[in-house]
Structure 1
């Protein structure tokens, strides 16, 4: 039985041995010698495909070259020998990356077709093989004519191959691969759908156990992944993972294609992590890609690709978990990819770009200027290597602009800022309308223009910044998570112009944009909170009727900001600014005599902010103790919404961008899912008020044994709010008209100075070092507090509560 039927390697080894013996026993000049050499070359080729021994492939090329050389033109078998040689050369190119092998492969296959008349039974095979070689030329050199010719040849091959023919599946698969490449290059969805149809047919026509089945499953998985990236259909992504898992499972360790299947499975798992947020998918993606790298020699032409892809997954995990080792490993892997990729190879762009992104992230984490400078150099090199008209040129220009902007922030070199603007302007100009990345590029250009306005004060930069932000907002569909950030940035630029020109129209527009950003359902909590805060500050003067709405929005976001979606570092940063927002909100509520709401807000702020600062158990921790599944689901979907709306300003060049509307639809689905999870949580006993402020009726219980006094300090006024025993809904308000927030800050600084540095100059009293003893300073502080806070509070309680006795003591 032959190897093709049995799949038994022993049959293949015996075939090679017998054919080698036949060649050795046949003298040169014998008419059968070319046929025997060609047959031996084909068996060696088959053994290479199974075992990956490069010597078998080299020997296959040598035997096929000998068969061709010994066969005169016009001999009926000459096309067959040329075909075998062409396929061996193509395979060697894919293993070693030598462009000469690829060019010779195309020449041999074209010669084989030219020598074969139409109607000849070998014609479909020859067309198929030439189409595959032309696809290799396109992948290496990027010439679109090679790709179109590849599709044309492969379509002809499939059309000429009858149903039921054993080669039909592989030819359908090859056509599907070329159609996929043309979709990636030109974006025609029909090419992608036709690619999937061809590959599905190839899989269906191939029986289980066939040695080509894993390859067909892997290739179908690639096309399904591309359609998911274009349309966002989760079923395509899940099917991609399933097909690639099957390809890996069906391929034995040591098989030369196993690293490819592992890498590709890792890519689909990474995409599913990005879509669903399941950390296990991300971890499995890294494991599969690490295995692909480990199983591949440094001399293999795909090694740089596997390293680059592994680095991208490690960077993603760093951005998710913040583990610095992942970031360092990402840099190391991508540096190795760049080092192993020859100059002029098209993959050099992707690895150079990804290395620039990883280095920029490490600079942002550690502050090492060498990382930032290297990031700029990598992006500059990638831009220089990319011709105008190349689809990746805008992304590379944008990323270079981001690094230059970061370097300006560090070193203040104005040329970096100007170059940042120029690069981002070029990125926008080169990006066609309708491209999913256009709004991001416009927003990034707007940011650099705004930064230049801040530096030089040129109003034209500010106006241009506003125009770019407006365009980004207009091009982004409602519900898209990043639209919240675009609206916030537009609001900030309009605020700056209002401060310059005092145009009431700018005031109205900035309030509109801040409101839209703050009230977004799909935007990240961090951006919504900042937008609500800015809305409230501006509305105090220019739209008082909306101030309470603004603060209500900000306070409602606080629990999400503190307990869901953000890293610990980001959480502490945003909460460090939240305390004053809460106090200002309470002051605004007091101003309209809604004292109960002010108390509820102050308690909410206290529980959120101090709970984080003191690392106390959070409501999510309590939920996890009793309902861990619900807690995990809530954190996952919240993290997805936060990360989707605060996406990196850098643009990857090795993935097809998802359509804006599909991302908006996906974010809307996340919001519905989160609302459903919250509803389920609040149906559980003891969690009815989960992430909601405690009502005043519950807070009043704290005053069972005596009054509870809450002091609030704000730039809008200082007040005391008092809860009384037995009065569940009544809150006493005492204005502290002689006290200010500045006085509070001054007293606090004075007290801290005495405690930390006894004997040094007191900022509050103005005394020189040694003029006042610490006890004397304490006495002054306590006297101030008595006169301006304690005494008014006691008097207020006495006025509102008949029979309450105030017995003042002299504070010494």
Structure 2
């Protein structure tokens, strides 16, 4: 497995290692001191095989073997630290599939225990600090709690303090530090925070020249930083930089792995679609639609990110309809959004077969988008039932914004108001136009005069007078 870890290509190497550990497990007595090696080796082997094949059952097997390895080393020791190190990171991988926070919480507990065992002189402490930093950042992204982000940054700074300037692990540390610093900017609004993130990621990129195996990860993170810079500055050159970096990240991953990474595809598609909305170039719209379709073909139906990909393709098809007038684009958009709603039902089944309520953030966007698209179809077909459906979807979206996407509530309220105004134009029901007028005012009360949506909402209000 050491050879596989170095090349990250030949699945035959890891299969050979798994087979070796399975044979060792069969002939090793349960009380033998070498039992740990076979158990932990199976955990590592199955997890690494999952990284290549993306088959969830392999990850689950890896987690189970790591748990068994840790169980035969209950006292604090290096062997237990190695088992918990593998277990903690496998649980992070599990979270990335399910988006269930308990995997992150459990991972943090195990990783803290690892750091409690390893001294500052132990070489495994550095990757352990790197891993726990990533886990803290994911917790921040999940919860929005800045304390988690600060702990992520602190862990990386400790790792840097322990490494000499030419150490090979520095590129990974600087990559994660830049990625964590990038998360600070949307909360602080300080341009210097974004510049610090970009500077750190550029340093990480320079430490990972081609053909470095992980250069693509840094390029992708740097690209998203430039997208943030575009949103701050409005300069198209920053968005062009982001698109170019996303393309490079996708190219490198594809060259090395022989397949696309759905995350890189999705990020590239988003950047190209954003550029279309700014430049109105037809080729960008068509490319973004193509990229979103390829993304969907590479994302399993059970994957947490699939609803977002469906949503974004639906948006792009709606834009294509506006340019071409082809109703087929609207119908395809509606089908995609309906699939999104099916995939984001509130009840989910946990690993232990219990169920719990969980609201997917893509659901509220799909509800609002579905209302808008159905209303657009009404303008063509003039079927009054369509307006009623649109209002129903918009009301559901507005209700959900009390719990998530509150920052978009003003837009969703305004969209509901527009739907009610449209129905008033058919039925002349005074109740509809009065409610629309109230909702427009509520929308404006939620945003400032300099908000990018202020002009549109004010214009819609004027139409409702």
Q: Structure 1-normalised TM-score?
A: 0.52
1:432 aligned onto 2:432: no
1:278 aligned onto 2:184: no
Aligned match of 2:9: 97
CA displacement at 1:191 relative to structure 2: 2.2
Taking a change above 3 Å as real, the CA distance of residues 187 and 394 of structure 1, as seen in their structure-2 partners, is closer
* Structure with the largest fraction of helix: 2
Distance between the aligned counterparts of 1:172 and 1:512, measured in 2? 56
Aligned counterpart in structure 2 of residue 496 of structure 1, from 401, 413, 422? 422
Aligned counterpart in structure 2 of residue 203 of structure 1, from 99, 103, 115? 115
Distance between the aligned counterparts of 2:155 and 2:343, measured in 1? 37
Q: How large is the Cα RMSD of the aligned pairs?
A: 2.5
Tell me, what secondary structure is at the counterpart of 2:254? coil
State the Cα deviation string for residues 578-629 of structure 1 (Å, max 9, x = none).
Answer: xxxxxxxxxxxxxxxxxxxxxxxxxxxxxxxxxxxxxxxxxxxxxxxxxxxx
Aligned match of 1:355: 268
Distance between the aligned counterparts of 2:35 and 2:448, measured in 1? 56
Aligned counterpart in structure 1 of residue 200 of structure 2, from 277, 285, 288? 288
CA displacement at 1:125 relative to structure 2: 3.0
- Are the equivalent residues in 1 in contact too, given 2:260–2:298 (CA < 8 A)? no
Distance between the aligned counterparts of 2:260 and 2:153, measured in 1? 24
Aligned match of 1:388: 301
Q: Structure 2-normalised TM-score?
A: 0.89
Distance between the aligned counterparts of 1:255 and 1:342, measured in 2? 28
Aligned match of 2:352: none
Aligned match of 1:246: 158
RCO higher in 1 or 2 (8 Å CA, sep ≥ 6)? 1
Aligned match of 2:398: 473
Distance between the aligned counterparts of 2:111 and 2:336, measured in 1? 41
Aligned counterpart in structure 2 of residue 180 of structure 1, from 76, 88, 92? 92
Unaligned runs of 5+ in 2: 347-358
Tell me, what secondary structure is at the counterpart of 1:481? helix
Distance between the aligned counterparts of 1:238 and 1:347, measured in 2? 33
Distance between the aligned counterparts of 2:231 and 2:155, measured in 1? 28
Aligned match of 1:507: 433
Distance between the aligned counterparts of 1:206 and 1:389, measured in 2? 37
1:462 aligned onto 2:417: no
Taking a change above 3 Å as real, the CA distance of residues 427 and 273 of structure 1, as seen in their structure-2 partners, is same
Distance between the aligned counterparts of 2:84 and 2:280, measured in 1? 52
Aligned counterpart in structure 2 of residue 189 of structure 1, from 90, 101, 108? 101
- Are the equivalent residues in 2 in contact too, given 1:96–1:299 (CA < 8 A)? no
Aligned match of 1:616: none
1:441 aligned onto 2:355: no
Distance between the aligned counterparts of 1:526 and 1:328, measured in 2? 22
Taking a change above 3 Å as real, the CA distance of residues 509 and 274 of structure 1, as seen in their structure-2 partners, is same
CA displacement at 1:129 relative to structure 2: 2.6
State the Cα deviation string for residues 214-242 of structure 1 (Å, max 9, x = none).
Answer: 21111111111122122222111111111
- Are the equivalent residues in 2 in contact too, given 1:293–1:307 (CA < 8 A)? yes
Taking a change above 3 Å as real, the CA distance of residues 372 and 146 of structure 1, as seen in their structure-2 partners, is same
CA displacement at 1:536 relative to structure 2: 6.3
CA displacement at 1:528 relative to structure 2: 5.3
Distance between the aligned counterparts of 2:14 and 2:122, measured in 1? 28
Tell me, what secondary structure is at the counterpart of 1:342? helix
Structure exhibiting the larger radius of gyration computed from Cα positions:
1
Tell me, what secondary structure is at the counterpart of 1:167? helix
Aligned length: 451
Alignment of structure 1 residues 271-420 onto 2, 5 Å: 271-342=183-254, 348-420=261-333
- Are the equivalent residues in 2 in contact too, given 1:269–1:284 (CA < 8 A)? yes
- Are the equivalent residues in 2 in contact too, given 1:140–1:345 (CA < 8 A)? no
CA displacement at 1:535 relative to structure 2: 4.5
Taking a change above 3 Å as real, the CA distance of residues 188 and 419 of structure 1, as seen in their structure-2 partners, is closer
Tell me, what secondary structure is at the counterpart of 2:387? helix
Distance between the aligned counterparts of 1:345 and 1:436, measured in 2? 32
Distance between the aligned counterparts of 2:15 and 2:190, measured in 1? 45
State the Cα deviation string for residues 504-528 of structure 1 (Å, max 9, x = none).
Answer: 2322332332233222379984445
State the Cα deviation string for residues 2-31 of structure 1 (Å, max 9, x = none).
Answer: xxxxxxxxxxxxxxxxxxxxxxxxxxxxxx
Aligned match of 1:129: 41
Taking a change above 3 Å as real, the CA distance of residues 465 and 316 of structure 1, as seen in their structure-2 partners, is same
Distance between the aligned counterparts of 1:315 and 1:401, measured in 2? 21
Taking a change above 3 Å as real, the CA distance of residues 247 and 405 of structure 1, as seen in their structure-2 partners, is same
CA displacement at 1:455 relative to structure 2: 3.8
Distance between the aligned counterparts of 1:278 and 1:106, measured in 2? 49
Distance between the aligned counterparts of 1:454 and 1:109, measured in 2? 65
